[in-house]
Structures are given as structure tokens and as C-alpha cells.
Amino acid sequence: MFPSSRICRHQELHLPDECWELVFKHLSDPLDHESLSLVSRHFLSLTNGIHTDLAVSDRVLPLIPVLLRRFPNLTTIKITRYFTGDINALLSQIASFNLPSLHSLDLSHQPTFPSHGLRQFSEKFSALKSLNCSHTRHDLDLVAECFPNLEEIDVSFRKYKIDIVSDWEKALTSGLKKLRKVTISGNFTHGDSYLLALCHTCVFLEELVVIQTGPVSMIGIANAIRKRPELRSLLVNCLTYGFFSEDLRKGNMTLEFIDALVSLKGLNCLDLSYSSISDEALCVLAEEGLPLRKLSLRCCKGYGYGGISYLLRKCNNLQYLDLQMTQFLNDQCVVELSLLLGNLKFVKLSDNAKLTDLSLFAIMRNCPLITDIRMESTGIGKQKLQEDCLVVNFHVKFLYLASNTWLDDQTVTMLAAVCPNLEMIDLSKCGRVSKGAIEVLWSCRKIRRMDLALLGHELFQFRFRVCFDVPTLFVLNLSQLSISNEELYLISKSCCKLKELDLESCHKITTRGVKQMVKNCKQLRTISLAACEKVSANVVAWMVSARPSLRKIRPPPRFSATESQRDLFRRHGCFVGKWSN
């Protein structure tokens, strides 16, 4: 009986590869795949198969052959802006490998356009679906010749002025007819004709993004989008306040643009950031009953509460709303608007100084599906609420509350109580908050990320003492905090599963405190010690040897690696130096 039961248990644990892949894909942190790959050769093979993205930098270049063989199911390759090698040679090298799932290439921010390399690359990957050439001097004729099946292209912020109409017309007539999403911007000569040619030829176009493009007129945009009534997503924020306002005074061009908008019967995403639009225009949009799911009027002028409330009343399935930098917005407006947003999941209300606690808690109360709230640089903390007025919201996972100078411990403690499933909170530059951050760690048992940079900088004394286990916290930013070695030790014991830690400009921290942290946090992958004046530069080599999980270290001042140390870092797969965010 006993042996057979053991066999049954063993059989129950045997899962098909497809099941394991589903489990691994749903892991909260893809970096956990590295740990799983060490369990067995079977798990190594599975984790290699679900790795889809590769970013190529100078330090990755020597490992390219190994990585391309290890990850056969890559879908996206990005050549980072800090890559200084030969891009043509790199693309030719990639083309020599079998990557059947590769469909996206990112060449943004490159100093030169790799024409030769792209030709060789296209011989192997002619079915490429997505290409990003933003901030790069690109050749659209060559792109069309090499990748006729492109469905998505970003050619924004081209680095030089050109008659882009003829450029586009040649590219569109020779290829690029399957485009579904186009992102454009920058400096070219005939903006209206350019957009018209694009929308006329790309019959499958569904998403159009136009940023800081000129010269272009509202009537030019209107004429273009009328050619593509199937558009589902439109972002237009190229029109400066002065130019757009002049159109408003004339009246007819605004009507042309709005008439064209309402002809897009399937439009579910509309972004008119940094433009000007009237209440009348918003009411016309509302009457048409467009199926909007996403709306951004960030930093828009010309409209008021009447227009936006009427639009939201008609578009009651909105899931994303961005009203940052809206001059008329106050607590009463937000409280009333929140009653119209029962399906809202994501809201941005940053840089609205008139908004206080009333707005924040009204959204939590009246928008039961809300998961992400961004209210940075507001008046949160000015208007205190009674606890009996609060409603627990189990859906809120992300709170971005940076630079709220009125926010204090009392309000943060209340937030922790009503958001028990919070996973990320940004309290950076909140000068009056101290113990409230610890209340978040105590009450929100799913917390994974915290940004506490410059927390409590207005307080005379600030003690950050965590004396309980926080097993879910993976990312912690403590930069520019006056924490001591003792406090850092308590954090390392309580948050022992930390993977990313920022201690930049923590001037009280010494080498001893850093060593204690590294010993206790056995999964630590990234740490910044920039401007930590009391930390010895010699600790870096010790850290790399003592903690094999480390992959990135921003060293303390006066660090200079010897050749043998650089070899040590490379063998351990750890990058030591500055990195971009």
C-alpha cells in the first residue's frame, strides 16, 4: 500500500510542460525565472522557452550568441540607446540565428541608421511586425523594401528636416500598406499632406499617434482621419495653445475636427493632451455616443466642468481618465464626476493643487473597480476626513502620491486601512510622512514596491524602524533618507526578500551597514550606493562575491575597479557602474 501511494503522489506532481509554462508566466516577477532555472534541467529548458524580450547593451554584446541560443522564443529585441558597438554587425549576427517568434525590433535613439545590417536582418525576418525608429535618422524606402508586412511603426522625432510627404508616398506605394499603428512627430515640411497620404493608403490603420508635429492644421487632421473611419485610437497633442486657440476663435476649423472625430464610430481611445477644446465640442462628442474606454485631456484648456461632466455621463464605460493639470478642477468636481465613473480602473489627477483628501477618497468610494490612482503634487492632507466616512476598496493596487507637501501620517494610515491589497505606493518627497510608511507595510500585506525617497525631510527627527516581517516587499527606494545602520539592519531582517534597493545619498550608512544588508537579503539583485560617502569603495568586490544574486551595483564614491575585479564582476554576471532608469 505504501509504495503504491508514493507512486500516486509522484504521478500527481508530474505536470505537462504546458501547465508549468502557464505557472511560470504568471509569476509576479520574471526575475524569479533565474531561480527556477537552477532547480533542474527541465525547469531550465522551460524558463528559457518563455523568455521573450532581449535588451542589447555593450555589456551584453559578448554574450549575444549564448543568449540567442538559450532563448529561442524571443519576440522582441531592443538595441538600447547606450549601445556603442557596430549596429550593422549586430543585426547581421542576429540574422544568423533561428528565432521563429521574433516580430519586434527597437532601433530608437541610435546615432546612425543601420541600412546594411537591416538588409541582412530582413532576409531572415522579413515578416517583422513592429519597428521602432524614433529619434533615429531613418530610411522609409528601405524599411518598406525590407519589411513589407509591418503592422506597427514609430518614426517620431526624426533628427533632421525633410520633405517627408514624398518620402512617405514612395514608402507607402512600394510597401507598408499593412500598417495598423503609426506614431509620428518631428520636423517636416508638409504636415497636412503627409497625414492625408498616410491615412489614404494604410487601409488597415487602427491607431494613429501624432505628437509635436508641424506644420499641421486641425482641418488637415480632420481630412486625414475621415479617410480612416475604422480608427479605434487617436492621440493628437501637436497643436500649441496659441495655434489651437486661434482656430477656436474662428470656429469653423474646430467644427471640422469634431465632425471628423464623431465619424469614428469605433473610437475607444482619445488623447487630446496639451490642446484646447470647448465645452460645445465635448458635448458634440457626448451626443454621438462614442464607445470611449480611454480619455486624456491632460493640460487642456478651453473647457470647463459642464463639458466634461456631460461627456462622462454619456460615456459611462470609461476605464482610463487623465485630467492632470486641469485648472478648474476642485474637490466638488471630482466628487460629482466620480459618481459617473463606475467602470473606471485608472485615473491621473496629478498637478491639481485644489484637490484634497475629499477627491482621493471619493474615487475609492464611488469607483469600485479602480486599481491605479495617480495624484502627485496635489493638496492631499489638507482636508481631514472622519474614519466612518471611509469605504474599503479591495481593488486599489497602485497609489502614486509623490510631492504631496500636505500629506501626513494620519492620512497615509487611513489609506493603508482602506487599501488592504495595495501592491505599490510612491510617497517620495512627502516631507511630513514618517510612521505612516510603516503603517502601510503593516496593514498592506501584499505590498511589493515602495518609493520613500526624501520621505519626512521636513521633520526634525525621523526614525524608520520596521520590526515585523514584510515577506512580499521586493523593491524599496530609501534614497536621501537619514537612516542609520541600525535601521538598515532592521529593514534587512524584516524585508529579507528585497531584490532592488536604492540607498543613494544615505549619508549615515557605513560599510558595516551595507554588509549586514547584503548578508540578510539573499535575493538582492540591484543596489545603489551612489553618494554614500561613508561606504568604502572596497565593499563592491566583497558584495559581488558574497551575494551571487547581484546583477547591478551603483558603487559608492571613489570606486575604481582593477582589471582583476572587472573579470570577477563579469564572471558573476554583475554590472557595476551607472545605469539609466
**Mean pLDDT within 115-121:** 96
C-alpha cell at 496: 529579507
Predicted local distance difference test score (pLDDT) of residue 426: 98
Per-residue pLDDT tens over the stretch 55-106? 998 888 989 999 999 999 999 999 999 899 999 999 999 999 999 999 999 9
pLDDT over threshold 70, residue 158 = no
Hunting for cell 524569479 — which residue is that? 32
207-242: b or e for each residue (b if 16 or more CB lie within 10 Å)?
bbbbbbbeebbbbbbbbbbbbbeebbbbbbbbbeee
Lowest model confidence (mean pLDDT) among 158-167, 380-389, 441-450, 477-486:
158-167
Closest CA to 367 of 400, 394, 327: 394
Predicted local distance difference test score (pLDDT) of residue 406: 96
pLDDT over threshold 60, residue 23 = yes
pTM: 0.91
Predicted local distance difference test score (pLDDT) of residue 535: 98
For 424, residues 6+ apart whose C-beta sits below 8 A from its C-beta are 397, 398, 399, 447, 448, 449, 450
C-alpha cell at 196: 492625408
Percent of the chain with pLDDT over 70: 88
- How far apart (Å, rounded) are the C-alpha atoms in residues 550 and 522? 9
Predicted local distance difference test score (pLDDT) of residue 137: 83
For 260, residues 6+ apart whose C-beta sits below 8 A from its C-beta are 221, 222, 223, 225, 226
pLDDT over threshold 90, residue 156 = no
**Mean pLDDT within 311-318:** 95
pLDDT band of residue 171 (cuts 50, 70, 90) is confident
Check if the beta carbon of residue 383 is closer than 8 Å to that of residue 409. no
- How far apart (Å, rounded) are the C-alpha atoms in residues 568 and 581? 25
3-state secondary structure of 379: coil
- How far apart (Å, rounded) are the C-alpha atoms in residues 290 and 292? 6
Lowest model confidence (mean pLDDT) among 139-153, 335-349, 494-508, 529-543:
139-153
Whole-number mean pLDDT of the chain? 88
pLDDT over threshold 90, residue 415 = yes
- How far apart (Å, rounded) are the C-alpha atoms in residues 272 and 237? 5
Predicted local distance difference test score (pLDDT) of residue 217: 76
Predicted local distance difference test score (pLDDT) of residue 346: 98
- How far apart (Å, rounded) are the C-alpha atoms in residues 524 and 474? 9
